[in-house]
Amino acid sequence: MNKDFRIRLLLALQASLLGYVSANIRSVSCGVAGENILVQVVFDGAITDEDREAMDEVGSELASHFEHELVDMQCVRTDAPKPLCDSTLELRAYQRRE
């Protein structure tokens, strides 16, 4: 991934997250696999239907910033105090203070 695309991806993801980060989100990370953008949202505690719907909206907003790439949103549960290092992708756009 080149530097310009990396910057564009992180800024677009951070803008897409505005208003959608709830208290139970520990981190949001992203990466690229071929033509696809992968986004992993790590939750602390149960992931509700409302959480999944909110992240689908984030994914749609993120996709609107790119022409050809598909966005794959993954919601995973990793309860604190388990470390995040094993459950994040290459680029971290958000991390909760713990």
In angstroms and rounded to an integer, the radius of gyration of the C-alpha atoms of the chain is 13
Which residues make Cβ contacts (< 8 Å) with residue 98, sequence separation at least 6?
26, 80, 81
The pLDDT assigned to 25 comes to 98
Query: What's the domain range around 30?
Result: 3-95
Domain with residue 50: its CATH number is 3.30.70.1350
Q: Is 15 helix (H, G, I), strand (E, B) or coil?
A: helix
Residue 35 pLDDT: 87
Residue 5, pLDDT score? 94
For position 69, what pLDDT does the model report? 86
Neighbours of 83 (CB within 10 A): 10
Regions of the chain with pLDDT less than 70? none
Number of domains in the chain: 1
| Distance from C-alpha of 49 to C-alpha of 80, rounded to nearest angstrom | 21
Q: Are strands 36-43 and 25-33 parallel, antiparallel or unpaired?
A: antiparallel
